[in-house]
Structures are given as structure tokens and as C-alpha cells.
Amino acid sequence: MDTIVGHPAIKATTFREATAEDWDYVTRLGREAIQKNAGRPVIDLLRSQKDVPNHGWQVNNYEHSLQCATRALRNGETEEYIVACLLHDLCQDLNPYNHDKLAGDALRYYVSDELHWVVANHQVFQLSFRDHSKFDRTACEKFRGHPHFEAAMRFCEHYDMNCFGKYDYLPLEHFEPMVYRLYEKGVQAFHAKHPY
Ligand SMILES: [Fe+2]
Ligand SMILES: [Fe+2]
């Protein structure tokens, strides 16, 4: 039986049976596959959401994500920031009530610590802008004084809470090369830092 990258599979069927050579082999092949596939899973997941329900807003989560990224691009944000905007709600349907942490983890190692924190905590910050709702608009105050507090507030004000109306956004294909560049670079850096 061949592996997905065209190399023969090892004989061991458990971790404990695998020899030192086996470990070198599967680790190398695994890393090559990860490198080759960098960015693909997040793009595939986002693309799969094209027709999700809109929950009553003028746009669905897919359009919202593209709108956030397009606004960031047009405002001259960095490529890393644009990708974070594109993916900040990537996991909305996996767990709506913890989707910021899931998206944060999807971006971990690929963006700065600040940007990771911003995405991983945007749920509580965007509550601040629900002016006429029954939600707790002061919930983010628990983070007051945190070094990334202002960055999170800025993200939600400019690239989240304002992206629910019709807007001339760019297609996903426009952002794909940015995602691949960021993830390929991130995977390379991670592998260099963690040989095992
Ligand atoms: Fe969100
Ligand atoms: Fe959002």
C-alpha cells in the first residue's frame, strides 16, 4: 500500500512497534505533506461555507469574511492582517459560542502573537458595538489594560461589526495566494524551530 505522497508504508502498526528509522521516515513524509498542503485546509473550509444561511443579516458568514478581508486590503493593512480578517469567523459553524478561539488556533504560528490574540478574543470585543441589544456591551472590560486591548477593539470596529451590509467585496480567489504564502512561511518557521 502506498502512502498519499507515493511512498511505501512502514510495517509497524503501532507507535511502539515503529523503529527509530520508521520515525525518521514518517516524520519526514508527514512534514513534507504538511508543507505542501499549507493553507489548503482553511481555504477549503471557508469555501465550503459559500451558501450557509445569513441569520437575518444582509450577508452570510462567507460574504462577511470576504468583506472584512476586502476592507482590510483597501485600508492598506498588512497581508497577515488581511488573512486574519478573512479567517476570523472560519469556525463559526463548528462552535458558534467558541468560534474565536478555534479561529485563533487555526491562525496560531502563522500570525503575530497580537493578531492571534485579537482573533481569539474578538467575540467578547464585538459585543461592545451591539448598541441596541440586550448583550453585555461591557464584557470586554475584563481585558482592560491588556497589551492587545486596543488592537482587538480596532479590529472589531473596522473589520467586523461594520461588515454586515452589501459591499463590493473581492472573491476568495483574490486572497488565496496570501493565505498560502502566510501558511507556507509559518510551517517552514515552525519546522525549523521544532525539529521534532
Ligand atoms: Fe466572530
Ligand atoms: Fe465577524
**DSSP state letters, the chain:** -B-TTS-BPPS--STTT--HHHHHHHHHHHHHHHHHHTTHHHHHHHHTTTT---TTSSS-HHHHHHHHHHHHHHTT--HHHHHHHHHTTTTTTT-GGGHHHHHHHHHTTTS-HHHHHHHHTHHHHHGGG-TTSSS-TTGGGGGTT-TTHHHHHHHHHHHTTT-SS---PPPHHHHHHHHHHHHHHHHHHHHHH---
Is the pLDDT confidence value at 1 over 90? no
- Look over the chain and give the mean of its residue pLDDT values, rounded to a whole number: 96
Could you read off the pLDDT of 168-178 as tens digits, one per residue? 999 999 999 99
Domain boundaries, the chain: 41-186
Å from CA of 59 to ligand 1 middle: 14
> What tens digit of pLDDT does each residue of 80-98 get?
999 999 999 999 999 999 9
- Ligand 2 centroid distance, CA of 68 (Å): 8
Q: How far away, in angstroms, is 135 Cα from ligand 2 center?
A: 16
Tens of pLDDT, residue by residue over 128-152, are 999 999 999 999 999 999 999 999 9
Architecture of the domain made up of 41-186: Orthogonal Bundle (1.10)
**Confidence category of residue 6, pLDDT binned at 50, 70, 90:** confident
Ligand nearest to the CA of 68: 2
Instruction: List pLDDT tens digits, range 8-58.
Output: 999 999 999 999 999 999 999 999 999 999 999 999 999 999 999 999 999
pTM of the model: 0.94
